[in-house]
Every structure is written in C-alpha cells, then in structure tokens.
Homo-oligomer: A and B are copies of this chain.
Amino acid sequence: MCPTRRNPKSRRSYHHGDLRRVLIDAALDVVQKQGLAALTMRSVARAAKVSHMAPYHHFEDKSALVAAVAAEGFRRMRSAMEERVARCSEGLRARLRESGIAYVVFAVENPNLFRVMFSAQMAEKSNYPELQDAASSAFALLRGLVDESQAGTPDDPDEGELISVSAWALVHGLAILCIDGQIGPEATDPEFAEKFAYQATGALYRGMARG
C-alpha cells in the first residue's frame, strides 16, 4: 500500500522508497522554478517528507546533489538534440546545425537548469564521474556530427576538433546571451530563440563550407 512496488534493479529499498530519485526530482523542480539559489538541502528534504539529514545518505554534500541535477540536465539536453537531429532529413551539415539549434532552444526552455549545468561549482566535474560522463556524452553527439560532415574533405586532423569546439562555443554563447537577456527580452521565447539560432549559426556554417 505504500508508494512502493517491486523493482528488481534498484529496489525502492526499505523505508522511504527510492529516496534518491525523489530527492533529485525535488531538486530539479526547485532549480527549474526558482533557480539554484533557492535550492537547499533542507527544503529538498522537506519536499520529500524526510528528516533534514536523510539526503546525506544519498549525497555526500550539497555539491553532490547539484551535480546529480546537472547530470540530469546534460542527459535531457542530449536527448533534445538527438530528437531534433533525428527529425531532420537533410544533409549532415544541416543536421549539425539542427543540433546546435536544439542546444539553444533547450537553454531557453530550461534557463535555470542550464545555468546549473555550467555553474562554478560544476567546473570540477572530475569529482563527479556521472556528471563528467553526461557532459561528455552531450559534447560527443556534436563532435560526431562534425566528424561525419567533415568526412569527405581530407583536412588537417585537428580541424575536426577545432570546428566542433567552435560550433559548441557558438551555440553555447548564443544560449547564454539569450537567457541573460543580453539580446533582448524576446530572446526568452523559445520560438524566437530558434529562429535566432538558425540565423546566427549561418556565419559559422558558411565558414565551414569554405574550410
């Protein structure tokens, strides 16, 4: 009768039932709605109806919780990119561009989460393998597209790396500029951001063409 059911892998455990998952979801909720500053260990514990020290049995400290949230963010972003790329039936370069647009749109749709993913305390990702993996995996998607789209041209071997990093940098910068309101208040709207990202990726796109 409790909110617990059988679950072969990570059995919901004994007491509460998959507290870790509940905590991450609660933290995600707070972050998305109110931002990182509003996230406290104790409020998350309260949301999960558990004592304020319970979370410490699943996360070493607050940073670890935030890292878990950030990792979830990277996974979701990667999914969003994959989906959008899959929907594109044009050439590889167009697909690469689509992945970048998905990146910007994701940021505009989840500004607070996006910021957590690139917050100061997440800079030392090495402390959190799960986060490291999730972030690398998102970048790898982009990197893969660049490699494929470069496959024909026998360029400098470092060229692919440089282009993928440039592409990533461009869309990352666009995302930040949008959610920071530096471009204008309208950039908060995902539809606007989408069109904007499409245009703004044009120069790099053309630059790649030349090579």
Q: A interface vs B, CB < 8 Å?
A: 35-37, 111-112, 115, 118-125, 135, 139, 162-163, 165-166, 168-174, 176-177, 179-183, 199-210
Contacts and interface: CB of A to CB of B under 8 A. Distances in A.
A170 B177 CA distance: 11
Contact of A181 (B125, B139, B172, B205): B125
A173 B21 CA distance: 32
B200 A203 contact: no
Contacts of A174: 165-166, 169, 173
B112 A120 contact: yes
Contacts of A170: 166, 169-170, 173, 204
A111 to B, nearest CB: 8
Contacts of A121: 37
B207 A169 contact: no
Contacts of A36: 120
Contacts of A177: 165, 168-169, 172
A131 to B, nearest CB: 12
Given A139-B182, A166-B204, A206-B206, 11 more contacts: A37-B121, A125-B181, A165-B174, A168-B173, A168-B177, A169-B169, A169-B170, A170-B204, A172-B177, A173-B174, A176-B176
